[in-house]
């Protein structure tokens, strides 16, 4: 117990030292707090992006999926790579508008595109509500970590409270430093959570030094492990489609991911960061899933898949490697929770409380953001405690996707298409979210009579239809058409004059 | 090679990337394709097809995106002059209203 807790303490101390050393002497403005002054390069963007993408529960819920159900776990690989690619395509215009119009959040962009405070507020509420389950999952992961690190000597309540306290202390620095604090520590946390864990997975799969698994185990796993839901069994053929579709569309919509676009120093940094994100994210997650699937050959892992990551490392290297497993999950959890809490506090202050009629000062925005974070964390802590023994944690994440995906219609169409209007966007989002929410309450996982399609897909279809129908019925005024045309004109690229021989070929590209 | 890349029309590059992206999306979203790979034990480099299928899908789009980035870099499409004042006080081009 002492060894593992010490390892956690050392890691945590390094994070705090990084925060202390990189803090600015002057109080950050709200723009610094929100987007770090739009000054970060591709590696910072990439690692911050990955931190916001893979929470600590990846090593528990998603690993448990691979170690319990096998190839099913790889759906996460498909949606993450395809989704991040979509972000690459969307990022150019999103970053340019962000820079041009000083946008701080994703709802800011939607509000600007549709010239509507209502669109902005609804998008913000959907984002905050949908992020909530992920923070809950992250806190549960932290509680679980302290349960493991304490050797089961501490109660569930004590473990969750300690986990919450750790995050609160960490959040103090985030609030003090703004986005800069997140970005600086994400680099270190990401190295530990995703790069070190990928190396550990490589060693495990190599089968050396008494590893309990090897790459060869992948060819010897049971038949059921290689089958997807929908290939026989209770699920229909559209289950995997639904999960991946909502994942891809949802990945455009997560406020945490979107926020990273605005922290970048330019379009090059966004795009280079996205390519690096796919490399880190795809490599890490593939290796983790291969370890999980090979782990199905280990009886102790198969008996308790959600603890499989810890079981394997304990079997491989005893307390020290178990301690490393705990530190890795701790790093991923902290990075993700911190980012989610920060962006939720920011959105509540910037998009919901702040408005055209009630303009808040920098100081007021920061104060409201801080208060929102505290309330948000307290609520998440209560829910985390109440659902701590839920069998299928990953289901919570799936449910949240049904909600966040509803931002995809106005966001995607608004960025790539000049049509649509605020009435269509508002009605579509509300209709989609209500339908998705109602269906998810009745069918939390899938709708069997429709081939295992999920409520989010139905909601998305309703959202799209309502958006198009209401926009067509209400139309665009001449002023609105002109305003939108100016927006798209403002996002056009102007090649720099300094790169002779290159710019001549591409003087202006939309 | 660089001059050839610079001479390519943008539409050709976008179409090529679009085709690869569409294939990746189909592999991930079209049930007859992914269910055909499900449960297949035959191996590729020691990994069953049921698993390799998803890795190949991710690798395909990852490599395509990397290639797109490299091409855009050669064509000078990643750097730009931007007509904006950092942290400009104007939040929106026009006022927002519900």
Per-residue pLDDT tens over the stretch A87-98: 898 878 888 888
Residues 6+ apart with CB under 8 A from A387: A136, A140, A396
Partners of A494 in the β-ladder: A508, B81
Token pair belonging to B32: 């007859």
Q: What is the mean pLDDT of residues A108-137?
A: 90
Distance between A10 CA and the closest CA of chain B, angstroms: 35
Q: Which CATH class is domain A2-23+38-92+124-393?
A: mainly alpha
Q: How far is B44 from chain A (nearest CA, A)?
A: 10
Cβ atoms of residues A251 and A77 within 8 Å = no
pLDDT in tens, A52-81: 889 888 898 899 999 999 999 999 999 999
From A138, A134, A93, A84, select the one nearest A112 (Cα to Cα).
Answer: A93
User: In this model, does residue B11 exceed pLDDT 90?
Assistant: yes
Q: Is the pLDDT of residue A25 over 80?
A: no
The sign one gets for the Cα dihedral A389, A391, A393, A397 is negative
Q: Scanning the structure block, which residue is given the tokens 């269906």?
A: A439
Domain ranges of chain A: 2-23+38-92+124-393
User: What are the angstrom distances between the C-alpha of A89 and each of A118, A224, A353, B69?
Assistant: 27, 37, 31, 11
Interface probe with A: pick from B78, B90, B95, most Cβ of A within 10 Å: B78
Q: Which residues of B touch A244 (CB under 8 A)?
A: 28-29
CA dihedral A230, A231, A232, A234 (to 10 degrees): -20
Instruction: Answer whether B61 sits within 8 Å of A230, measured CB to CB.
Output: no
Residue B48 forms contact with A (CB below 8 Å) = yes
Mean pLDDT of B79-98: 46
- A77 vs B54: CB contact, 8 Å cut-off? yes
Pick from A205, A231, A208: which is nearest to A218 by CA?
A: A205
Beta bridge partners of A508: A494
| Residues of A with Cβ-Cβ distance to B82 under 8 angstroms | 96, 99-100, 266, 494
Cβ-Cβ contacts under 8 Å, A118 against chain B: 98
The C-alpha of B78 sits at a distance from chain A's nearest C-alpha, in angstroms, of: 5
Q: Which structure tokens are listed for A142?
A: 């932290």
Residue of higher predicted confidence among A178 and A17: A17
- The pair of three-digit structure tokens given for residue B53, joined into one six-digit string: 């299928």
| Cβ–Cβ contact B96 with A under 8 A | yes
The pLDDT of residue A285 = 97
Give A315-373 pLDDT, tens digit per residue.
999 999 999 999 999 999 888 888 888 889 889 998 999 877 777 887 888 888 888 88
Q: Do B41 and A226 touch (CB under 8 A)?
A: yes
Chain A contacts of B75, Cβ < 8 Å? 502, 505-506
Of B38, B62, B95, the CB nearest to A278: B62
**What is the spatial distance between Cα A147 and Cα A418, in angstroms, rounded to a whole number?**
53
Out of B69, B77, B80, closest to residue A272 by CB:
B69
Query: pLDDT exceeding 90 applies to what percent of chain A?
Result: 48
Q: Closest Cα to residue A63, out of A333, A324, A305, A331?
A: A305
Is the separation of the CB atoms in A101 and A273 below 8 Å? Answer: no
Interface confidence (ipTM) of the complex: 0.87
The reply to whether residue A238 touches residue B7, judged by beta carbons under 8 angstroms, is no
A258 φ/ψ sector (left φ>0, alpha ψ -120 to 50, else beta): alpha
**Which range has the worst mean pLDDT, A225-229, A396-400, B70-74, B83-87?**
B83-87
Q: What does the block give as tokens for A182?
A: 């997140």
Whole-angstrom CA distances from A92 to A186, A263, A510 are: 23, 13, 10
Q: Other C-beta atoms within 10 Å of A6: how many? A: 12
Residue A239 CA to residue A447 CA, distance in Å, equals 9
Whether residues A81 and B57 touch (CB distance < 8 A) is answered with yes
How confident is the model over A407-427, as a mean pLDDT?
Answer: 93
**Residue A510 pLDDT more than 60?**
no
Contact B94 A271 (CB under 8 A): no
Residue A448 confidence (pLDDT) = 92
Cα separations in angstroms, A246 against A119, A250, A331, B38: 21, 5, 27, 21
């Amino acid at each position: 117990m002492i060894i593992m807790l010490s390892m956690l303490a050392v890691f945590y101390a390094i994070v705090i030292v990084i925060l202390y050393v990189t803090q600015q002497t002057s109080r950050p403005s709200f723009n610094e707090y929100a987007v770090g002054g739009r000054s970060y390069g591709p590696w910072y963007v990439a690692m911050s992006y990955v931190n916001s993408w893979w929470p600590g529960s990846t090593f528990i819920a998603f690993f448990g999926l691979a170690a319990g159900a096998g190839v099913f776990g790889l759906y996460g690989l498909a949606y993450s790579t395809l989704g991040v690619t979509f972000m690459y395509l969307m990022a150019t215009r999103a970053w340019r508008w962000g820079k041009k119009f000083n946008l701080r959040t994703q709802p800011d962009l939607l509000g600007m595109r549709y010239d509507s405070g209502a669109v902005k507020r609804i998008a913000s509420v959907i984002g905050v509500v949908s992020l909530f389950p992920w923070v809950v999952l992250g806190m549960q992961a932290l509680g679980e970590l302290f349960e493991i690190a304490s050797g089961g000597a501490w109660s569930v309540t004590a473990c969750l409270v300690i986990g919450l306290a750790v995050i609160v202390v960490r959040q103090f620095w985030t609030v003090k430093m703004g986005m800069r604090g997140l970005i600086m520590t994400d680099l270190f946390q990401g190295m530990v959570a995703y790069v070190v864990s990928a190396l550990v997975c490589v060693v495990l799969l190599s089968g050396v030094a008494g590893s309990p698994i090897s790459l060869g185990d992948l060819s010897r796993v049971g038949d059921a492990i290689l089958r997807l839901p929908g290939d026989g069994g209770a699920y229909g053929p559209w289950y995997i489609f639904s999960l991946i579709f909502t994942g891809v569309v949802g990945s455009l919509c997560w406020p945490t991911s979107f926020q990273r676009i605005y922290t970048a120093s330019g379009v090059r940094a966004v795009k280079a960061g996205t390519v690096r994100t796919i490399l880190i994210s795809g490599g890490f997650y593939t290796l983790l899933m291969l370890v999980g699937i090979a782990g199905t050959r280990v009886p102790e892992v198969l008996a308790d898949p959600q603890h499989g990551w810890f079981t394997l490392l304990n079997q491989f290297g005893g307390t020290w490697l178990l301690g490393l497993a705990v530190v890795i999950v701790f790093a991923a959890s902290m990075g993700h929770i911190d980012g989610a809490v920060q962006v939720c506090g920011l959105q509540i202050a910037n998009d919901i409380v702040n408005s055209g009629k009630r303009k808040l000062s920098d100081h007021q925005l920061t104060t409201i953001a801080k208060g929102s974070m505290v309330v948000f964390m307290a609520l998440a802590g209560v829910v985390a405690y109440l659902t701590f023994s839920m069998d299928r944690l990953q289901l919570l994440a799936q449910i949240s996707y049904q909600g966040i995906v509803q931002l995809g219609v106005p966001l995607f169409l608004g960025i790539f298409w000049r049509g649509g209007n605020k009435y269509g966007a508002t009605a579509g989002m509300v209709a989609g979210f209500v339908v998705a929410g109602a269906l998810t309450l009745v069918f939390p996982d899938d709708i069997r009579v429709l081939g295992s399609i999920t409520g989010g897909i139905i909601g998305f279809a309703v959202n799209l239809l309502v958006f198009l129908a209401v926009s067509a019925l209400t139309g665009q005024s001449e002023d609105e058409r002109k305003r939108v045309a100016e927006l798209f004109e403002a996002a056009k690229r102007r090649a720099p004059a300094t790169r002779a021989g290159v710019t001549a070929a591409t003087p202006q590209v939309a | 090679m660089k001059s050839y890349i610079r001479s390519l029309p943008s539409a050709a590059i976008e179409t090529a990337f679009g085709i690869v992206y569409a294939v990746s999306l189909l592999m991930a979203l079209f049930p007859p394709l992914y269910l055909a790979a499900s449960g297949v034990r035959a191996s590729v480099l020691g990994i069953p097809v049921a698993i390799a299928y998803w890795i190949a899908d991710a690798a395909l789009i990852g490599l395509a995106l990397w290639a797109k980035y490299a091409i855009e870099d050669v064509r000078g499409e990643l750097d730009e002059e931007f007509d904006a004042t950092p942290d400009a006080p104007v939040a929106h081009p026009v006022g927002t209203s519900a």
